[in-house]
């Protein structure tokens, strides 16, 4: 297959706050996707083209949709900064977590709901203050937890629920037959799918050579005390969790974790178990550049699991390194054509 056949085609559109189309044009949009965090986009456009460079099209709050023939779609809202140069303007956009930053919560509202139901509550509160194009989508119903919503930014609530639950979310853009954009907010037990794809270095592989493949980082914790609200330590609800295998391997490593707004012991138990699952082993992450050789891009998506092969990394002696990894972040620059940067995490 020729290089030109491997280069994906892109469609760039702008929609207003009601989801109605206002412009479609050609430009190169650099963009990123991150599990559980805000992705960003940036593009430049010539100032002299007033059909696009005007307040109706590039207004803060408008929506940017970039669809790609091989890679996942990117959707987000235009927001500052906007930088003007002598011949062009730089426009920034952010994935829909940004909208959660524009809303504050209620005064001490206690909920005992599944994380997915809490996610739906946040979306409904966003739209009750002022209607947006965000709508609840596919919502996984897991185990109920206790959360207290306060008049702080809903983005803080979203991040807290995501971290405590161990579940994940994504934003799915849909343009209907009338050309109107809706962004469905999906809450999932786990984002992505398991694939048979292989990322492989060396001759004939689909990875660029990298000087730094893996980084083992973050503190190891294998014994957690989780505590909630109470006036004194004697009155605070408590729960503990530990991992014996980690303790035997690395020694006992304890921590205490506060979960404000929680008085339910079962929620604290869930939070402690989730914390241990994340910290019992050092997290091994890395960045690689995947090349669209064959149908590599077909398997690229947030959360997707793939096989990674290198000549030698880690404590493998002379043997090749072969492991399963998960895509936890991506960045695509259209000028790179058939190359995408992946942030990957080794699966334990």
For each of the chain's 348 residues, which pLDDT tens digit applies?
445 567 899 999 999 999 999 999 999 999 999 999 999 999 999 999 999 999 999 999 999 999 999 999 999 999 999 999 989 999 999 999 999 999 999 999 999 999 999 999 999 999 999 999 999 999 999 999 999 999 999 999 999 999 999 999 999 999 999 999 999 999 999 999 999 999 998 778 899 876 667 788 889 999 999 999 998 999 999 999 999 999 999 999 999 999 988 999 999 999 999 999 999 998 889 999 999 999 999 999 999 999 998 876 655 555 577 889 999 999 999 999 999 999 999 997
Residue among 226, 266, 268, 275 nearest 246 (CA):
275
C-beta separation of 192 from 303 below 8 A = yes
Residue among 293, 255, 291, 286 nearest 271 (CA):
255
CATH of domain 100-188: 3.55.50
Q: Supply 306's token pair.
A: 């793939």
Domain ranges for the chain: 3-95, 100-188, 194-217+282-346, 223-279
C-beta separation of 168 from 142 below 8 A = no
Q: Give the global pTM.
A: 0.89
* pLDDT tens by residue, 159-192: 999 999 999 999 999 999 999 999 999 999 999 9
What is the chain's alpha carbon radius of gyration, rounded to the nearest angstrom?
22
The span from the CA of 137 to the CA of 258, in Å, is 31
For residue 256, what are the contacts with CB-CB under 8 A and spacing of at least 6? 224, 225, 226, 227
Residue among 202, 244, 200 nearest 223 (CA):
244
User: What is the fold of 3-95?
Assistant: Thrombin, subunit H (2.40.10)
* pLDDT tens by residue, 286-319: 999 999 999 999 999 999 999 998 876 655 555 5
C-beta separation of 258 from 283 below 8 A = no
C-beta separation of 155 from 142 below 8 A = no
């Amino acid at each position: 297959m020729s290089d030109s056949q491997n280069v994906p085609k892109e469609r760039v559109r702008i929609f207003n706050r009601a989801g109605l189309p206002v412009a479609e044009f050609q430009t190169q949009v650099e963009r990123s996707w991150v599990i559980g965090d805000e992705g960003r986009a940036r593009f430049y456009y010539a100032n002299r083209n007033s059909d696009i460079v005007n307040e109706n099209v590039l207004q803060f709050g408008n929506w940017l949709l970039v669809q790609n023939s091989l890679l996942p779609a990117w959707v987000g809202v235009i927001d500052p900064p906007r930088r003007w140069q002598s011949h062009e303007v730089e426009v920034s956009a952010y994935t829909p977590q940004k909208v959660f930053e524009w809303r504050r919560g209620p005064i001490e509202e206690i909920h005992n709901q599944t994380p997915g139901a809490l996610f739906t509550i946040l979306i409904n509160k966003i739209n009750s203050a002022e209607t947006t194009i965000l709508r609840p989508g596919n919502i996984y119903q897991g185990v109920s937890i206790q959360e207290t919503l306060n008049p702080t930014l809903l983005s803080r609530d979203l991040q807290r629920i995501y971290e405590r639950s161990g579940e994940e979310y994504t934003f799915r853009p849909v343009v209907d037959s009338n050309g109107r954009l809706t962004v469905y907010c999906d809450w999932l037990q786990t984002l992505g799918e398991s694939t048979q794809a292989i990322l492989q270095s060396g001759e004939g592989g689909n990875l660029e050579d990298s000087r730094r493949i893996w980084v083992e980082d973050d503190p190891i914790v294998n014994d957690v005390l989780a505590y909630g609200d109470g006036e004194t330590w004697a009155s605070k609800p408590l729960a503990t969790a530990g991992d014996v295998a980690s303790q035997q391997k690395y020694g006992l490593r304890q921590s205490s974790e506060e979960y404000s707004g929680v008085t339910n012991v079962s929620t604290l138990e869930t939070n402690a178990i989730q914390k241990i699952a994340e910290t019992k082993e050092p997290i091994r992450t890395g960045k690689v550049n995947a090349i669209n050789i064959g149908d590599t891009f077909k398997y690229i998506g947030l959360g997707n699991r793939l096989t990674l092969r290198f000549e030698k990394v880690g404590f493998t002696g002379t043997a090749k390194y072969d492991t399963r990894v998960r895509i936890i972040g991506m960045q695509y620059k259209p000028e790179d054509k058939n190359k995408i940067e992946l942030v990957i995490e080794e699966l334990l």
